[in-house]
Structure 1
Amino acid sequence: MPSKTEVKKVNNPAELEKVFAIRREVFVDEQNCPPELEWEFEDESTHFLATVDGEPAGAARWRKTEKGYKLERFAVLSKYRGYGVGGALVKAVIADLPADADYVYLHGQVQACGLYEKYGFQKTGPEFEEAGIKHYKMVLA
């Protein structure tokens, strides 16, 4: 059982490589997302790395879009799922948003919507497919 989970904002190449490795394992390898869809908007995003007992465990990011602030690429390595890493990432990313972030949204995979709902997100609109995976658009209430 993990004892210490930490989430921090990262921007140096070594830490970003850990973020990208987590996303590669979860999205490209595990969920079969096309790599060209996975690696976009990196330079304009603010990235986060979650560690459990010092080991890389999860990743996420946010970026400003035309609509508002979009939370994206929440990924937790399979061996760390069920230990609160996803929730720690959601809390850290929300806490890092600018004070004027009045419209915050994400595209939540169907199986993760319950997690986002715990932190105030609500489904809006119909289910849709993105990168071959079912999602809902969710907005922070």
Structure 2
Amino acid sequence: MMPGQKRTVVKKVSEQADLDKVFAIRREVFVGEQNCPPELEWEYEDESTHFLATVDGEPAGACRWRKTDKGYKLERFAVLQKFRGLGVGQELVRTVLADLPADADYVYLNAQIQAMTLYAKFGFIAEGPQFEEAGIQHFKMVKR
């Protein structure tokens, strides 16, 4: 590591204390910043595999994956404002993709427009029309 460089670690979490950090990050980003309705934010928690990113030990980002009837869906990528631009999002995507089961042949997500370039770096391609979810414009993206 370079001097002054921050250390980003992403780990799969299942303990309540870690999940509380995940949910706090999502609440701040989606409900606080992006005005998503809270009732849309909290669903499928029990069937999802959750991840927490820390920067120098401080909670910085979160995401999850879950199996759906279509395949494996990556969801709820959130990075706290003060940690944006440090590569936390890339580390989250990289870690989640590496965690998917070997049989995960169909992997997709609904990307907010400003995040599409991040997912494209990992081989995701936009499919279908633009749509609105929780008042925010998205595209479905599928990993190729």
After TM superposition, the score normalised by the length of structure 1 is 0.99
- What do the CA deviations read for 1:29-51 (whole angstroms, capped 9, x no partner)? 00000000000000000000000
Corresponding residue number in structure 1 for 2:99: 96
Distance, in Å, in 2 between the alignment partners of 1:79 and 1:3 is 13
Distance, in Å, in 2 between the alignment partners of 1:67 and 1:94 is 17
**C-alpha displacement at 1:118, in angstroms?**
0.4
Please list every run of at least 4 consecutive aligned residues from structure 1 whose deviation after the TM superposition is greater than 2 angstroms: none
Corresponding residue number in structure 2 for 1:126: 129
Secondary structure at the counterpart of residue 103 of structure 2: coil
Distance, in Å, in 2 between the alignment partners of 1:112 and 1:71 is 13
Corresponding residue number in structure 2 for 1:76: 79
* Aligned residue type for 2:42: W
Q: How many residues get paired? A: 141
**C-alpha displacement at 1:67, in angstroms?**
0.1
User: Is the Cα contact below 8 Å between 1:2 and 1:52 reproduced in 2?
Assistant: no
**C-alpha displacement at 1:3, in angstroms?**
1.4
Q: Map of 1:1-141 to 2, 5 A cutoff?
A: 2-141=5-144
Secondary structure at the counterpart of residue 59 of structure 1: strand
Distance, in Å, in 2 between the alignment partners of 1:3 and 1:128 is 36
Residue identity over aligned pairs, in percent, reads: 74
After TM superposition, the score normalised by the length of structure 2 is 0.97
What are the ranges of 5 or more consecutive residues in structure 2 without an aligned counterpart?
none
* Aligned residue type for 2:91: A
* Aligned residue type for 1:87: Q
User: Is the Cα contact below 8 Å between 1:108 and 1:135 reproduced in 2?
Assistant: yes
